[in-house]
Amino acid sequence: MTMPREQESTMRILIASHYLPWPLNSGGNAAQFSTLKCLAEDHQFTLVCPVYTEAEFLHVNELQRQLPQVYIRPVCYNKATRTRFLARIVRFIRGGRLLDLSAHQHPEPPGMGRPYYPFLPLPENLILVLQEELSKGTDLFQAEFVEMLPLGAWIPENIPKLFIHYQIHFVYSDRFLTTRGRDGYSDYLNAAMRVQEVAYLQNFEGVITLSEEDRQCLVPYVAPEKLFVSPFPIPADIGIATDLPQRFDGRFLLVASEGHAPNRDALAWLLADVWPKIKSKLPLARLLVVGEWSESAKIRHSTAGLSFLGFIPELATTLRGGILLVPLRIGSGIRVKIMVALAQGVPVISTTVGCEGLQVKDGQEILVRDDPQEFSKAAIQLAQDPELWRRLAVKGRTAATDYYSPEVVRRRRNEIYAELAENHRRARAP
């Protein structure tokens, strides 16, 4: 049942995000967009986020059309400007000695040797735009993604501050090093990032994690009363299926783009240790990779039965009838791809890391396997057992409805907004 809109207390909420949530070609974009869409009529939202290219301004226009109640404020955030800005800072800090900053410009450098370091200074033009929006009046400031954590120290104390933690960065970093290997410098980065992340979080009166597991990771570092759990809803362009596929059609699917480092590791592990075992038992099986990959990666990973589909706007249609494989070994947060599959009645086989934080259990709504031999055996069993395939499809859709519908998420987010505002008011009362 949908909650009446008039019961909500309208707030002016200023959001600073590291990513423009359009197009819906990544989990982060889908999560942001779907949450905004289900809340857009409850509050007055202003979204400030970077735009890197002229082409992305077209995405801003489409996002504004999709979310007419939300004011979208793009900030020019091109690499050249950011490089010059960082160079000035480094010259100042290092007494005129200029460091090579080129490796730090992309949100996730293509190499897998080091965990991603997100705590670089934000550009001046972003701060100026936020300053202008703050001057118009706001009831709550909301920062999204770890790159925006430093803003908490700068936002005035008279404004309640909320951080949306999509992925606990020190958890991601620890898992990255456990999987990829450690050395002295990577351990140094890991230790420094943990200290910085924890310190920055202290500047927020509320921190939302997407799962109870992530919340527990922060309990030793952040006051428990500041920590809230609230997932994002099923992507707004997907919804929950009214009917379910009847049988497996021979397709295994991996939803992953090359730009995200854990996805590169997941595909490499899947192709090296899992897919050959599946293919030997199911010679007609196909593995379809949904997401953008470079031509060099496609050539490097080429193998029997594998196809790269690129970005697919109609993801729900593509998934239906298949089996979703989620061989992630690195990361934190919850996976949009699994939520989409559950909502569409698509059975899922995942690692523990891949399905962490979701309201699912092994053998009930999903199959969970970490060993490559067991992962491949589960895939073969699921492909050959129509009853198991159907049971997972039905229970998965039920979980999506019970925990991740827009109505459920909307109710919880509004409870958090109200509690945070009230706590702030009481703390500042004479």
Q: Output the six-digit token pair for 287.
A: 């593995």
Q: Provide the CA 58 distance to its chain's centre, in angstroms.
A: 23
Query: pLDDT tens digits, residue range 228-258?
Result: 999 999 987 788 898 888 889 999 999 999 9
pLDDT the model gives residue 93: 42
Q: Is 170 helix (H, G, I), strand (E, B) or coil?
A: helix
Give residue 429's pLDDT.
86
DSSP 410: H
Helices 386-404, 336-343: axis angle to 10 degrees equals: 110
CB-facing half-sphere around the CA of 325: CA atoms within 13 A: 30
Question: In this predicted structure, what is the pLDDT of residue 80?
Answer: 56
Distance (Å, whole) CA 38 – CA 163: 18
Helices (H) and strands (E) in the chain, counts: 16, 13
| Closest residue by Cα to residue 255 from 315, 179, 342 | 315
Going by the DSSP 8-state scheme, the letter that residue 362 receives in this structure is B
Q: What is the pLDDT of residue 97?
A: 37
Binning pLDDT at 50, 70 and 90, where does residue 32 land? very high
Residue 137: which region, alpha, beta or left (left: phi > 0; alpha: psi -120 to 50)?
left
Q: Map out the domains of the chain with their CATH numbers.
A: 5-233+406-428 (3.40.50.2000), 251-404 (3.40.50.2000)
Radius of gyration of the chain (CA): 22
Average pLDDT for residues 373-381, to the nearest whole number? 98
| Secondary structure (3-state) at 288 | strand
Q: What is the pLDDT of residue 327?
A: 98
Q: What is the dihedral of CA 213, 216, 221, 226, to 10 degrees?
A: 100
Give the distance, in angstroms, between the CA of residue 219 and the centroid of all CA atoms in the same chain: 21
Q: How far, in Å, CA of 357 to CA of 165, rounded?
A: 13
Q: Where are the beta strands (DSSP E) in 22-113?
A: 44-51, 71-76
Q: How far is CA 307 from the centre of its chain?
A: 25
Tell me how far the alpha carbon of residue 229 is from its chain's centroid.
15
Closest Cα to residue 16, out of 47, 45, 44?
47
SS3 166: coil
DSSP string, 234-282: SPTTT---SS---S--SEEEEE--TTSHHHHHHHHHIIIIIHHHHHHH-
Long-range CB pairs of 386-390 (<8 Å, 24+ gap) are: 386/247, 386/248, 388/347, 389/247, 389/248, 389/323, 389/347, 390/244, 390/246
The tens digit of pLDDT for each residue in 42-61 reads 999 999 999 988 888 899 99
Q: How far is CA 45 from the centre of its chain?
A: 20
What are the phi and psi torsion angles at 286 (to 5°)? -120, 145
Predicted pLDDT of residue 8: 52
Beta bridge partners of 324: 253, 348
* Per-residue pLDDT tens over the stretch 92-120: 444 433 333 333 333 444 445 788 999 99
Confidence of residue 26 (pLDDT cuts 50, 70, 90): confident
